[in-house]
């Protein structure tokens, strides 16, 4: 049976994406070095890996490995282009003499080779930052990792180290911050497991408020559900003022803070706060870990947006990326403090109150985080 015309792909030249500007910079640089091989000493630090095109990487690797011919011989015979072709062809399928001649014709002026090399270095820096940002986003969102926080912070450190290395290679200039619009941020996902853990933190912290003094590393904004973050603020406010903390005083504080609604009234609040299980520090660490991964995810998305915007200079990408990572630093410090602090022993929970209540309270769905 013949495929219907509507199901057949229809490709034309317009479907082929255009080459980015760096492709032409690479061609101009290689063409200039084919015309004047001795100019390779003037282009500054550059390696094959700086090139985006695989065939260009092979050609430059050949140029860097071969000795430049004497100027008088180069002017008379095509010894240089022949040597480059023979050395690069095993590593670049499809490389032909005609392409090398086309490269020579693509160079406006061999004397401009240092400028072309700077363009190649700049685009390589952008691509490298983009790659590391992608690894950070991947680690922050991969729930299959055995130690997601450890891997994510390692990726963040690798990105920060790269930015430090690149900072010395590109000069600063006015207008150092990128003007890239902020990316659309993903909404907060509060699944049943997340909701249960946040509820258990609230109920156990109400039962054992003495733990709040050693849990200053947890903040209301770390909660995925805004309502539960507000209830935690009620708990810490009562403890900070030295007032009694139990489910009744927390209920009253919640009323004073406007947290009670038609869908979450006094009875629902009392049931939520009456099911402690385990130490508060354990549930607090779970909440803080999610906040850490969320901040790392957002930082990675911002860095990706800066690096994908071709109007940003390397200095702007570096400056904006450093600022994005700085927003992760505060949560990271609190996470390190939480995980290094030993958990104080807790008295056993009375049998009548142990374990979660048969019907857990469900808060209204969390709304997406507003763009900043």
215-274, pLDDT tens digit by residue? 999 999 999 999 999 999 999 999 999 999 999 999 999 999 999 999 999 999 999 999
**Domain end point (choices 108, 142, 174):** 108
pLDDT of residue 205: 96
The reply to whether 314 falls in a domain is yes
- Choose the most confident range, by mean pLDDT, from 16-20, 156-160, 337-341, 360-364: 156-160
Name the domain count of the chain.
Answer: 2
d(CA 328, CA 291): 10
The reply to whether 153 falls in a domain is yes
Confidence of residue 182 (pLDDT cuts 50, 70, 90): confident
Residue 48 is part of a domain; what is its CATH number?
Answer: 1.10.860
The reply to whether 284 falls in a domain is yes
Please tell me whether residues 88 and 125 are part of one structural domain.
Answer: no
The reply to whether 13 falls in a domain is no
Predicted confidence (pLDDT) at residue 356 exceeds the cutoff of 80? no
Please tell me whether residues 361 and 234 are part of one structural domain.
Answer: yes
pLDDT in tens, 118-167: 999 999 999 999 999 999 999 999 988 889 999 999 999 999 999 999 99
Please tell me whether residues 132 and 101 are part of one structural domain.
Answer: no
What are the structure tokens assigned to 247, written together?
């489910």
Predicted confidence (pLDDT) at residue 362 exceeds the cutoff of 80? no
Confidence of residue 30 (pLDDT cuts 50, 70, 90): very high
pLDDT of residue 101: 95
**Domain end point (choices 89, 108, 127):** 108
pLDDT of residue 13: 53
Please tell me whether residues 319 and 370 are part of one structural domain.
Answer: yes
Please tell me whether residues 207 and 87 are part of one structural domain.
Answer: no
Looking at the chain, the whole-number percentage of residues with pLDDT higher than 70 is: 85
Predicted confidence (pLDDT) at residue 351 exceeds the cutoff of 60? no
d(CA 151, CA 358): 36
Please tell me whether residues 24 and 160 are part of one structural domain.
Answer: no
Please tell me whether residues 153 and 268 are part of one structural domain.
Answer: yes
Confidence of residue 80 (pLDDT cuts 50, 70, 90): very high
Region at 258 (left for phi over 0; alpha for psi -120 to 50; beta for the rest): left
Domain of residue 78, residue span: 19-108
> Please, what is the Cα angle at 112 between 110 and 117, to 5 degrees?
105
d(CA 256, CA 269): 14
pLDDT of residue 358: 38
Please tell me whether residues 134 and 228 are part of one structural domain.
Answer: yes
Predicted confidence (pLDDT) at residue 372 exceeds the cutoff of 90? no
Please tell me whether residues 129 and 98 are part of one structural domain.
Answer: no
Residue 278 is part of a domain; what is its CATH number?
Answer: 1.10.860.10
pLDDT of residue 9: 54
Region at 175 (left for phi over 0; alpha for psi -120 to 50; beta for the rest): left
What are the structure tokens assigned to 327, written together?
């927003």
């Amino acid at each position: 049976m013949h495929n219907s015309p509507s199901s057949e792909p229809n490709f034309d030249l317009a479907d082929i994406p255009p080459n980015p500007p760096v492709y032409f910079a690479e061609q101009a640089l290689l063409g200039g070095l084919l015309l004047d091989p001795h100019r390779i000493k003037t282009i500054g630090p550059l390696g094959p890996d700086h090139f985006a095109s695989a065939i260009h990487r092979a050609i430059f690797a050949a140029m860097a490995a071969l000795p430049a011919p004497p100027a008088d011989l180069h002017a008379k015979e095509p010894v240089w282009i022949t040597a480059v072709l023979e050395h690069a062809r095993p590593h670049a399928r499809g490389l032909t003499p005609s392409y090398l001649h086309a490269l020579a014709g693509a160079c406006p002026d061999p004397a401009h080779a240092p400028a072309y090399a700077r363009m190649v270095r700049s685009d390589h820096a952008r691509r490298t930052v983009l790659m590391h940002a992608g690894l950070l986003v991947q680690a922050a969102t991969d729930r299959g990792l055995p130690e997601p926080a450890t891997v994510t912070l390692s990726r963040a450190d690798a990105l920060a180290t790269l930015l430090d290395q690149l900072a010395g290679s590109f000069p600063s200039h006015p207008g150092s911050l990128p003007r890239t619009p902020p990316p659309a941020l993903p909404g907060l996902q509060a699944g049943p497991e997340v909701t249960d853990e946040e509820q258990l933190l609230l109920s156990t912290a109400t039962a054992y408020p003495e733990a709040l003094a050693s849990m200053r590393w947890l903040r209301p904004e770390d909660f995925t559900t805004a309502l539960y973050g507000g209830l935690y603020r009620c708990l810490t406010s009562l403890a900070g003022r030295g007032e009694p903390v139990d489910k009744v005083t927390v209920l009253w504080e919640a009323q004073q803070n406007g947290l009670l609604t038609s869908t979450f009234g006094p009875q629902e609040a009392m049931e939520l706060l009456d099911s402690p299980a385990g130490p508060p520090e354990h549930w607090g660490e779970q909440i803080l870990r999610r906040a850490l991964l969320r901040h790392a995810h957002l930082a990675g998305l911002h860095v990706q947006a800066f690096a994908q915007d071709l109007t940003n200079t390397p200095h702007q990408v570096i400056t904006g990326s450093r600022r994005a990572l700085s927003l992760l630093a505060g949560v990271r410090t609190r996470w390190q403090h939480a995980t290094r602090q030993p958990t104080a022993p807790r008295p056993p929970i009375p049998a009548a109150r142990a374990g979660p209540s048969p019907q857990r309270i469900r808060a209204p769905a969390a709304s997406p985080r507003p763009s900043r």
